Amino acid sequence: MRKQIMGGCIVVGLLAGCGGAAVEEPTDSSSIGARQDAVAYCSGDFKIVYYSDASKTVEVGSTTCYCHAPVIVRGHQTPYWSELYNESC
């Protein structure tokens, strides 16, 4: 009887594993993997140019959007920027 109880405890311990119950990974569209593949599409036409400092002489990056196309981000975004154009689609 004692061997059966000990055997049962060992089986329960092996099934439970270390650290508690296993956590299942989400497989629906809200999973992290699905969000990494998301692409932002533009609802307007605009271009923003970012500069290295307040003098706005050295361009360091830009964000460009064409109607219904993916957003294009290049370089670095800074607090010093100018909007070159902004039109709706």
Q: Note whether 89 and 41 are within 8 A (CB).
A: no
The single-letter DSSP state of residue 26 is: P
pLDDT digits (tens, 9 = 90+) for 2-21: 455 555 555 445 444 444 44
* Residues composing the chain: 89
Alpha-carbon distances, residue 41 vs 3, 11, 79 (angstroms): 65, 53, 23
pLDDT (tens digit, 9 = 90+) per residue, 22-68? 445 555 555 544 455 677 888 889 999 999 999 999 999 999 999 99
| Amino acid identity at 11 | V
Closest CA to 50 of 12, 86, 82: 82
- pTM comes to 0.54
- CA torsion 17-19-20-23 (nearest 10°) is -100
